[in-house]
Amino acid sequence: MPTTLVAEESQITNLNLMFGASGVKCNELVTTLSSEATTFDIIQSIIKTKTTEIHSPFSVLDLRVVIDLMNKWKTNLPFVKPFYAVKCNPNISFLGALASLGSNFDCASPTEIESVLSLGVSPDRIIYANPCKSEAHIKYAVSVGVNITTFDSVGEVEKIKKWHPKCELILRIKPKEETGARFRLGLKYGAFLNEVPELLKAADMAGLKVTGVAFHIGSMGANTQAYRGAILLAKTVFETASRLGMPKMKILDIGGGFSSGSKFDEASLNINDAIKSYFENEDDLIVIGEPGTYFAETTFTLATKVIGKRVRDELREYWIDDGIYGTLCRTVYDYFIVMCSILRFDSKHKYDTSEHTKTYPSTVFGPTCDSTDTILKEYPLPELEMNDWLVFSNMGAYTTACSTNFNGFSSSAKNIYVSYSS
């Protein structure tokens, strides 16, 4: 069985130092809050105290949530080293926090690698987890010392042999069973089991070392039992390599698709049990995972301002300054549950967050001229006025990372407040 991952107290200390007044490593605004304060409290405080300089929309990155999630990961999956999937949210402050807490990184492009390296992270803490890379990008990996990558085709072997012959390879395989995931990454990547011998032989003949196996069961709604079948399939690939007389594999990459809710507990049980069952005698096994949404989703909260209003009988229509082409891009998917709160700004310049008995069916539009830029339809909201605020929770995963500057409007990515406990 693999070695247990142990959390160090110094990592938390380093995190606080990194975001202290004298040690900020980012261009974003940093604020402290008491351990009892909520993210909603800090948003109210930002709006109240920075009325003349506040740029809306803005997001709050709560480092307390990052710490809690890392602690939970290390408790639930003590044998699995986290390699955060940078594509999920590449915010530099967020990456810095994860690095200080001991995370490694899954990068899919030179830009992502460059961001991680800029934080002082060693290149041996990066896996280039993209099974198909351009030759120029492979050359970049060589130049910065990133020496492990994924592959799933003979063509990729040939490119790596030519441009990065010292690189270690991890074979990406396709899980056999239907996992129920809304985003089935196996449609694009992963070798079938019957393709494995040819790929292993091609890498061996090229003089490249295949050091492990990777898979991804898909994201959003995947059946966590699928981890068991995928880990068993990976074990089959380990055995195939051994029969072919290749060097012993040492890395099992269980991919991503993790959420931070109750399904994470369920997934952890299945993963731990499968590793124990199928890799019990592999004492030097290194298990890694590629969590993205798990760390990013609940860590960011978005604050947007009401910039327009229209009343049509009982219907209320509002415009806010972020939308589906910006941070709120995920709201177009039917699986995404919008968690929206309000901050009302009354004539006495006080913020009112009390419950209101009277609500109206409300439509909330984004700022662009595209009529599909609609965030909420017939959503029950109290009467809102210009310069009131709508606050959206769980806005960290595939939000700003997927946003655009369509129509000249940018997302909250440019305005981030980093909050942590003093």
23 versus 187: the higher-pLDDT residue is: 187
Given this model, what pLDDT does residue 32 score? 60
Question: What are 132's two structure tokens?
Answer: 């198909």
Tell me the pLDDT band of 51, cut-offs 50, 70 and 90.
Answer: low
43-52, 100-109, 224-233, 280-289: least confident range:
43-52
pLDDT category of residue 24 using cuts at 50, 70 and 90: very low
Q: Which residues of 280-301 are buried (b: 16+ CB within 10 A; e: fewer)?
A: eebeebbbbbbbbbbbbbbbbb
Q: Which pLDDT score is estimated for 4?
A: 35
Between 99 and 30, the higher pLDDT residue: 99
Q: Answer whether residue 147 shows pLDDT above 90.
A: yes
pLDDT at site 20: 46
Confidence tier at 129 by pLDDT (50, 70, 90): very high
User: Does the pLDDT at position 237 exceed 80?
Assistant: yes
Q: What is the pTM of this model?
A: 0.90
Catalytic choice (26, 132, 167, 369): 369
Give the model's confidence band at 39: pLDDT under 50 very low, under 70 low, under 90 confident, else very high: confident
Output the pLDDT for position 78. 95
CATH 3.40.50.300 fits 29-61+301-421, yes or no: no
* Contact partners, residue 113, CB within 8 Å, separation at least 6: 107, 123, 126, 128, 140, 141, 144, 146
pLDDT at 8: 41
**Which of 181-185, 267-271, 290-294, 406-410 has the least mean pLDDT?**
181-185
Q: Which residue has the higher pLDDT, 325 or 19?
A: 325
Share of the chain above pLDDT 90, in %: 65
Q: Is the pLDDT of residue 6 over 60?
A: no
The radius of gyration computed from the CA coordinates of the chain, to the nearest angstrom, equals: 23
- Please name which of 384, 334, 337 lies closest in space to residue 364, comparing C-alpha atoms: 384
Query: Is pLDDT at 28 greater than 60 in this prediction?
Result: no
pLDDT at 12: 46
Between 3.20.20.10, 3.40.470.10, 3.40.50.1000, 1.25.10.10, what CATH number should domain 64-296 receive? 3.20.20.10
Name the pLDDT band for 30 (thresholds 50, 70, 90): low
- Whether the predicted pLDDT of 227 surpasses 80: yes
- pLDDT of 3 over the 60 cut: no
Above 80 in pLDDT, residue 34?
no
Of residues 62, 213, 49, the one with CA closest to residue 127: 213
pLDDT in tens, 338-381: 888 998 865 444 555 555 578 999 999 999 999 999 999 999 99
* Chain segment 55-114, per-residue pLDDT in tens: 789 999 998 899 999 999 999 999 999 999 999 999 999 999 999 999 999 999 999 999
Question: Which residue type, as a one-letter code, is found at position 376?
Answer: L
Active site residue 369: yes
Q: What is the mean pLDDT of the chain?
A: 86
On the question of pLDDT at 23 being above 90, the answer is no
What residue ranges do the domains of the chain occupy?
29-61+301-421, 64-296
